[in-house]
Amino acid sequence: MRFVPTIFAAFLVLVSVPCSAEGQERPRLGLTADEVAEINASPDAPGLFGEALASTRAAVNPWLDETPDIPLPADAGGGYTHEQHKRNQRTMLGAGQLYRLTGDEAYARLAARMLDAYATMYPELGEHPMKKEQSPGRLFWQSLNEAVWLVTVIQAYDAIYDWLPPGRREHLESGLFRPMAEFLSRGQPQTFDKIHNHGTWAVAAVGMTGYVLDEPEYVEIALLGLKKDGSAGFIRQLDELFSPDGYYSEGPYYQRYALLPFVLFAQAIERNEPRRGIFEHRDGILLKAVDATIQLSYNGLFFPINDAIKDKGIDTAELVYGVSIAFARTRDPSLLTIAQRQGRTVLSVDGFRLAKALQDGQATSYPFRSRVFTDGPAGEQGALMVLRSGEEHGHQAVIFKATAQGMGHGHFDRLAWLFYDNGNEIVPDYGAARYLNVEAKYGGHYLPENNTWAKQTVAHSTLVVDEASQFGGDWKRGMEFPPRPLMFATGDRLDIAAARMEGAYDGVRFTRVLAMLKNGPFSRPAVVDLMRVKSGETHRYDLPLHFRGQVMSINRPLDASTQSMQALGQDNGYQHLWARATAQVPAGELLQLTWLNEDRFYTHTALAGDGMNLVFAQTGADDPDFNLRHEQALLQRVSNADDHVFVSILEAHGKYDGAREYTTESASNLADLVYTADGNRELVRITARNGAVATLALAPDSGPDDAHRLEYDGTVYEWTGPYHLFDN
């Protein structure tokens, strides 16, 4: 109920403004005559814009004298007909853009021929033969692809609209655009009115079509939902899918996917009805979303939380559009650096101006920094907390996932973490189990292992209770229980974050603190990890650490399986883990695992509690179709415990150079790790081999002015607030 005032206010503004683009200059979506004149007035096409122009010509020109290939729909994602219709949408858009820029009617004729063929075929199509049950399409196996297609192709029609005679326009609109808009809206209300990325694509497609066709009804339902009351539609999606910090509820991977319809439709609204002030809505939420999408990346790739394909990064087409539109609105010179890393721009006046500014040397460094991104419409459903140290390329980053569930694409991984260093993912997230558009791999669908492994809690570096997944593996239940962030702070010496989770397991509460020591006892920053678990009953607790690299050393004798292996369990992801080895560590002693990733060593040191056993595991069990990547994990296991505290530190050290045959600092620099607590006050003392000592004092539940005192080993530690770092 707390969001009703925001939505109602937006609704009042919307209903007070008639939904109409009549009288607006054409094109309604793309390059106007004045914009083309501005571009053509330049003596040359600047940098990225010139490259975009050349690459579009190279893609479109071979089809100018060819008969369009418009096959009847037959294949699922990745199949021939699916991919051909995607190629056709890009060809039509490119042809339309080139017609606007050059005036060459050959491009208009190509786009028109292809549109004619689709307008003839589409009315005869029923449901796709390989339809996805939840949202079947006609041209594609799911209506999501149909909406993406329409978002693209309506821009092509818009570009050649004035070139077409009225009778031909009528054929295209009655045979293709109106039937498709009706199918995506009233024909699939369960998708069109859904607050979800599928709904975003659908409303953008229908709304943009409404502007081009002078159909205000389409614009109105796109903005307000099929009931026209603001309970669904584009504005409601802006209000509910983004947090006040611009974080998208399904995570960065789906944020970049949903970003394109958000920014394209917003741009269409701004062009046709600027009085709506769409880019000012919710304190500029769309521009915040572009910034958040960039921030949620490392070394060019998005943080792969939830159902993420790990190959996606800032050079994705959606963000290329987002950056050009954001630069047009803000003139922020740091966005030019992102465009430079993307290596491309779009054929719009925004892309032209961006490329010109970049060529003129206006770019400044993009400010990647430690930040907290709240989740939920009001920022009250957890947060994604990012701790960074150093420069953007090769620096260290800790990602602390204390977000809401993320709907059906969310994973059961509350209070999990990822760690990046030296340009690489060191403590990884598996992401999605899927080979997108690879037909041989389950038709390009999410693999069965996405549910049985990738979403399960044990597939992530967070607490598992009794070998079960959080919320019993029920994402709808998970939506009811967001984590509670306790603190987030940054400084020259350390960045720190803490959060608590209740409700993931009945009767179990767990609190995690992650701190990056940027100026501590080691030559490079180190990460302190403290997980406190409390319960009124005894349980088995597993705390996995997924890591990437080749194991170099373990300071404990292992009972290794060398002739045969068994799965670690029967369900909840454990059935996919081979038990490679086990070890025991006496309480109060240290486990040290060192591995090598590229040219740098990493040591994870864990302080053993009572009854701790260690399990080294590797994915690949119960995987007859070889669908899973072979990745490894270390599980700290404690059985028959009610309360328990896991304490560890991860340090990066040394260098390995195989070409020059030298190695430095291949062993850990940690000499001792101590933990003590008194009530809600805790100390983690770290001693380096050179004698340097850092002591992290914690009271994560306290306020900024609360005073604390804790004595340990003859030293009294006094501090104010939820944390303090003491030296020596």
Catalytic (active-site) positions:
254, 409
| Dist CA 289 CA 247 (whole Å) | 6
Write phi, then psi, for 713 (nearest 5 degrees): 55, 40
Report the length, in residues, of the chain.
Answer: 728
Which of 168, 23, 139 lies closest to 71, judged by CA? 139
Tokens of 631: 């990745």
Residue 189 · residue 400 · CB < 8 Å: no
**Pairing of the two strands 707-712 and 494-505:** unpaired
DSSP string, 51-71: HHHHHHHHHHGGGTTSPP--P
Which of 130, 135, 160, 157 lies closest to 146, judged by CA? 135
Tokens of 163: 């070139």
Distance of CA 598 to the CA centre of its chain: 25
Q: String of b and e for 277-286 (b: at least 16 CB within 10 Å)? A: ebbebbebbb
Q: String of b and e for 647-669 (b: at least 16 CB within 10 Å)? A: bbbbbbbbebeeeeeeeebeebb
Write phi, then psi, for 128 (nearest 5 degrees): -60, 140
Secondary structure element (H or E) that encloses residue 253, with its range = helix 252-272
Cα radius of gyration rounded to whole Å, the chain: 28
Secondary structure element (H or E) that encloses residue 532, with its range = strand 526-535
| Dist CA 190 CA 678 (whole Å) | 54
Secondary structure element (H or E) that encloses residue 685, with its range = strand 681-688
| Dist CA 631 CA 626 (whole Å) | 13
CB under 8 A, 24+ apart: contacts of 175-179: 175/118, 175/119, 175/120, 175/122, 175/123, 176/115, 176/118, 176/119, 176/122, 177/150, 177/209, 177/212, 177/213, 178/213, 178/215, 179/122, 179/123
Residue 308 · residue 291 · CB < 8 Å: no
| Dist CA 626 CA 562 (whole Å) | 21
Which residue blocks in 193-251 are alpha helix, DSSP H?
Answer: 197-212, 216-224, 234-240
Count other C-beta atoms under 10 Å from residue 298's C-beta.
25
Residue 473 · residue 412 · CB < 8 Å: yes
What are the CA-CA distances from residue 272 to residues 232, 268, 278 (Å)?
A: 21, 6, 11
